[in-house]
Amino acid sequence: MSHKTFHKNPIVTDIYTADPAPMVYGDTLYLYTTHDEDQLINDFYTMFDWRCFSTKDMVNWTDHGKIFSLDDISWADDRAWAPQCIERNGKFYLYCPVHKIDSGMAIAVGVSDKPEGPYKDIGHPLVDEGDWNDIDPTVFIDEDGQAYLYFGNPELRYVKLNEDMVSYEGEVQKIPMTVEAFGKGSHETGTTYGEGPWFYRRGDLYYMVYAAFAEGERRNEHLAYSTSPSPTGPWTYGGVLMEEGPCFTNHPGICDFKGHSYLFYHTDELPGGSLFHRSVCVAEFKYNENGTIDTIDKVDGVGRA
Ligand code: FUB
């Protein structure tokens, strides 16, 4: 029995991990991450597999290792990027952006009977618009049973998933990228919205948290959020959630666990860290009574939940 009462950031110290995506299931928090390889190819993101870690108290973590990889997806050949997992009817669905062979980015789905995998590819892309926008899926099932999959860089797009969680009807929908919705920024749409959306609901308010670019040249990503009275907008810009740091990217993952609210993010603070060698971290935070969230500082770690 461990007596640790505090876990220092980064959460994982033996490999480089990024793009944290928490999922609470039963009494356990599962954390899905990407994996930055030590050895870079072409001095760029070198990422081949997805990892899973779990905890029951935010302090003691179990490493479940590699749970899904490009080797499991016959139609993809590169860029095992930011995933998110969700449970429905006893099955677990892991949504993963990948580079489709001879094409752009597309969204793969791995399915498993257990949160810690292993995951099996459904055999074809779920979303494939033939462009580079289809990255960073975030998935949420609303109270009425409708599941939404948002994704995208530089535009935020979504589909309403069918109950099987691996198909949808109709066209991919585009969210209007307005300054009112996402703040004035320096990304391609003229707003702050960059990538890495994280979609959820709290009470009557829907939240979109994302990696964002402030105004000005060559900014690193900070985290920002928008809220909406409905799952599909209109979105209203809420402000900065975490200031930009020395790492070019950041990526939010938010959940409540055992009475506490947590923001997972990533930095380059492990020894040897860089924009291609990142590490996942976590900070506890509190919502204001009206649902707004104040800017959250990067922290040394969190205490036992
Ligand atoms: O980790 C690869 C990509 O960088 C992710 O998909 C983005 O969110 C950014 O973190």
pLDDT reported for residue 2: 57
Tens digit of each residue's pLDDT (9 = 90 or more) over 156-178: 999 999 999 999 999 999 999 99
- Is residue 43 pLDDT above 60, yes or no? yes
- Is residue 119 pLDDT above 70, yes or no? yes
Taking the CA of residue 136 as reference, the ligand 1 atom at the shortest distance is: 6
- Is residue 1 pLDDT above 70, yes or no? no
Burial 207-216 (b: 16+ CB within 10 A, else e): bbbbbbbbee
What is the percent of the chain where pLDDT is above 90?
Answer: 98
- Is residue 221 pLDDT above 90, yes or no? yes
Average pLDDT estimate for 144-150: 98
Distance CA 171, CA 66 (A): 33
Cis, peptide link before residue 231, omega less than 30° from 0 = no
Q: Please tell me the distance between residue 189's alpha carbon and the centre of ligand 1 in angstroms.
A: 18
Evaluate: CB of 178 within 6 angstroms of ligand 1: no
Q: 200: alpha, beta or left, given left = phi > 0 and alpha = psi -120 to 50?
A: beta
Taking the CA of residue 79 as reference, the ligand 1 atom at the shortest distance is: 2
Average pLDDT estimate for 106-120: 98
| Smallest CA separation from ligand 1 atom 4, residue | 249
Average pLDDT estimate for 63-84: 98
What DSSP designation does 240 have? E
Q: Please tell me the distance between residue 289's alpha carbon and the centre of ligand 1 in angstroms.
A: 32
What is the percent of the chain where pLDDT is above 70?
Answer: 99
- Is residue 5 pLDDT above 90, yes or no? yes
Residue of 15, 16, 19, 44 to test ligand 1 pocket, by largest number of atoms within 8 Å of CB? 19
Tens digit of each residue's pLDDT (9 = 90 or more) over 174-191: 999 999 999 999 999 999
Q: Which residues pair with 159 in a beta bridge?
A: 149
pLDDT reported for residue 218: 85
pLDDT reported for residue 304: 96
Evaluate: CB of 18 within 6 angstroms of ligand 1: yes
Evaluate: CB of 19 within 6 angstroms of ligand 1: yes
> How many CB atoms sit inside 10 A of residue 169's CB?
8
- Is residue 3 pLDDT above 90, yes or no? no
DSSP character string of 162-230: -TTSS-B-SPPEE----HHHH-B-SSTTSBSEEEEEEEEEETTEEEEEEEE--SSSSPPPEEEEEEESS
Average pLDDT estimate for 268-280: 97
